[in-house]
Amino acid sequence: MKISVEKSCSVVFSRYKKESDNLNLKIYGNRKVSQKEINILVDEIKERCNKRLNIIKILSNKKWCLNQNTLGNLYKSLVGSILDYYFPCLNSFSENNIKKLQAIQNTAVKSFFKLKYDTLSNIVHHEAYNKLKLLTVSNRLFELSERYVGTGLSHSIPLVVRLVEEYKEGFESRYIEYITPLCNCYLTISSFIPET
């Protein structure tokens, strides 16, 4: 895995205004100049999803005569594809950031089913899954992680095997402080790991 020089930047966080912003940071020999602000990935993902959500909201209007399944498929292809693409990064997002992305999905589902704005989230999730087989964002991330790790293990991809073995060691030595999606994947598919 390589760091993308074009997409990388540095920001100095300091209490002191006179602190030098010049870190002389280099990536692969290329000097990176410090910036005053950076784009946060979750904000970029939200913005992209919201733009596509607006299309879905327009198409969910009665005059387009689209049924709920069609709207659900549109959501999966327009918005779900963004979340699927970013899933390796999303697994490291905080619960609050995942909730922000879930709110986008909830808005879409409410527009499909003409649910009131204040409909409880658990009802929205229930409707989404039962009628469209649409998982919550966190469950979808878990499913993708599980599939990725399972495929990596079944094809003996060295990076995935090593990653899971390190998690296994962490579980056995109890160094893991909190459960991550990869931990859950390990617990679910640990039967793929050959005993050493």
Q: What is the pLDDT of residues 125-151, one digit of tens each?
A: 999 999 999 999 999 998 998 888 888
Contact 78, 37 (CB under 8 A): no
103 confidence band (pLDDT: 50, 70, 90): very high
∠ CA 116-118-122, rounded to 5°: 100
∠ CA 64-69-74, rounded to 5°: 70
Q: How many residues does the chain have?
A: 196
* Secondary structure of 42-76 in HEC code, one letter for each residue: HHHHHHHHHHHHHHHHHHCCHHHCCCHHHHHHHHH
Give residue for tokens 């010049």.
22
Domain locations along the chain = 35-192
Report pLDDT for 188.
Answer: 57
85 confidence band (pLDDT: 50, 70, 90): very high
Report the chain's mean pLDDT, rounded to a whole number: 82
Tokens describing residue 23: 């870190």
Q: What is the pLDDT of residues 36-57, one digit of tens each?
A: 766 678 899 999 999 999 999 9
**Closest by Cα among 183, 8, 22 to 91:** 183
Report pLDDT for 118.
Answer: 94
Mean pLDDT to the nearest integer, 163-191: 61
The DSSP element (H or E) to which 32 belongs, if any, is strand 30-32
Residue 17 has pLDDT above 70, yes or no: no
Helical segments of the chain, H only: 41-59, 68-75, 81-85, 87-90, 95-113, 121-132, 137-154, 158-173, 181-189
Report pLDDT for 125.
Answer: 96
